[in-house]
Amino acid sequence: MTKTISRDNKKAKQHYETSQGLHVNYDIIMQMIEPEAKVLDLGCGDGELLKLLKDKKNVKGRGVEINEDDIIKCIEKGLSVFQGDIDEGLKDYQDKSFDYVVLNRTLQCTHRPDYVIQEMLRAGKKAVISFPNFAYWRVRFHLFMKGRMPKSSILPFEWFNTPNIHLLTINDFKEFCQERQINILKEIYMNKARVKTDIFHNILPNFYAEEAIFIVSRDIK
């Protein structure tokens, strides 16, 4: 998470960070990244993903996190993590200094998501970005039938304490990339913590997918 969440929302935060789907994300991202790659993990939390990448892929990894408690947990894991607000950019890192810059379930929590993505693509050769799809059919149904902000396993917050301030859809992200000449190298769609490859998710992912993971790049097609 890029921002500290209030004490009243601690239970929801723990649910969000320890959900089964998040651990599935870790497995998928590990499969995407080559051994010994240089990786920067933004909003790295307690460093679990970064630790797995170092142990299983021998990556040269760094993390950026704003929460002091999480930074301490990262240091205890022996990780190289710096305190910082990713909304302020990655000015400490030179162009293309990483093979991958990862933003896992954090894009919708940023105040300046467009700037964050631009900085990811500047500092890294490729960016791995995952986010909940707000156009998922269950979200639409909940909003239509109940007239209230939807809640789900990956969006468990109340409207008044959610860290998700820029919710988006798969179509929104694809349009964003197209308008800015960002290449989508790979896209993976998930439902209930499972990767989906059936015809429905391939043809209408914006309707059927609960979550998406993209690999994008500026200069690699």
Which residues on adjacent β-strands are paired with residue 195? 190
3-state secondary structure the chain: CCCCCCHHHHHHHHHHHHCHHHHHHHHHHHHHCCCCCEEEEECCCCCHHHHHHHHHHCCEEEEEECCHHHHHHHHHCCCCEEECCHHHCCCCCCCCCEEEEEEECCHHHCCCHHHHHHHHHHHEEEEEEEEEECCCHHHHHHHHHHCCCCCCCCCCCCCCCCCCCCCECHHHHHHHHHHCCCEEEEEEEEECCEEECCHHHHHCHHHHCCEEEEEEECCCC
What is residue 101's predicted lDDT score, i.e. its pLDDT? 98
Longest dimension (CA), the chain: 49
What is residue 194's predicted lDDT score, i.e. its pLDDT? 85
End-to-end Cα separation, the chain, in angstroms: 30
Query: What is the distance of C-alpha 130 from the center of its chain?
Result: 4
Tokens for 108, please give them.
């919708």
Q: How far is CA 1 from CA 136, 184, 205, in A?
A: 22, 24, 25
- Average pLDDT of adjacent 10-residue blocks, the chain of 221 residues: 39 45 77 96 95 96 95 96 94 96 95 97 97 94 90 84 93 98 96 88 95 90 48
What are the structural domains, with CATH classification, of the chain? 7-217 (3.40.50.150)
